[in-house]
Structure 1
Amino acid sequence: MAQMGQQSGQSTQSGMSGQGVSISEREYLQLALNESKYTAAAVNSFALEAANETLRRDYMTILGDVHNQEKQIFDLMQQKGYYNVQNANPQDIAQVKSKFSGQAQ
């Protein structure tokens, strides 16, 4: 049992000293983008549920800042080729538009 504790302690120490699993730039950026998305969702809820108008405005300001940071991360990922977005063709857009325009009526 003491040996297991020593082994786990060694693993923790080697992980903290920079040895072990390395994370790529792409993975760091993806983590940052995901965290930004979660933060935006949380702050959006806070703004929606704020009973005080001043607090709500503060949350809306923060939400705008979070969205700006998220866009910067997204743009950087696109520049580096980590996040490729394909534009929809006009035929697909028309098909989806006609599908949902019937439901709105």
Structure 2
Amino acid sequence: MAQMGQQSGQQMQSGMSGQGSNLSERELLQLALNEAKYTAAAVNTFALESTNDTLRRDYLTILGDVHSQEKQIFDLMQQKGYYNVKNASPQEISQVQSKFSQGQ
């Protein structure tokens, strides 16, 4: 088992130095964004299930920090053209509004 840990450490070191890493900048940013989304979901659950008010406030502070990081990654991806968001037309917005107002 010690040998496996040593091999993993060597793989991490070579990946961190850029050797043997085949991930593009876009893929790395996408991984970071996905990780931030998963972290936000987990921290949100922790906050919701916390019975201690102080701990809940701490989790909500952390959640705000995670959302800020998530937004920074998203903005960078959008700036680099890696994450393109199509703006909805006024007609599409109206259709969605109608759909949700009918459901209430």
Aligned residue number for residue 51 of structure 1: 51
Looking at structure 1, the residues matched to 59 and 92 of structure 2 have their Cα atoms a distance apart, in angstroms, of 37
- What TM-score, normalized by structure 1, do the two folds share? 0.81
Task: Give the counterpart letter for 2:48 in structure 1.
Answer: L
Give the structure 2 partner of residue 61 of structure 1: 61
The TM-score with structure 2 as length reference comes to: 0.82
Residue identity over aligned pairs, in percent, reads: 74
Greater than 3 Å deviation, 4+ residue runs: 17-21
Question: 1:77 matched to which residue of 2?
Answer: 77
Q: Which runs of 5+ in 1 are unaligned?
A: 1-8
Letter in 2 for 1:63: L
Distance in 2 of aligned mates of 1:100 and 1:74: 27
Aligned residue identity for 2:93:
I
RMSD of equivalent CA atoms: 1.8
Q: Which amino acid aligns with 1:28?
A: L
Letter in 2 for 1:65: D
- The answer for unaligned runs of 5 or more in structure 2 is none
Which residue identity lines up with residue 77 of structure 1 in the other structure? M
Residue 38 of structure 1 aligns with which residue? 38
Q: Partners in 2 of 1:42 and 1:100 — Cα distance?
A: 28
Tell me the number of residue pairs that the alignment of Structure 1 and Structure 2 aligns. 93
Note the C-alpha offset of 1:20.
Answer: 4.2
Q: CA deviation at 1:96?
A: 1.2
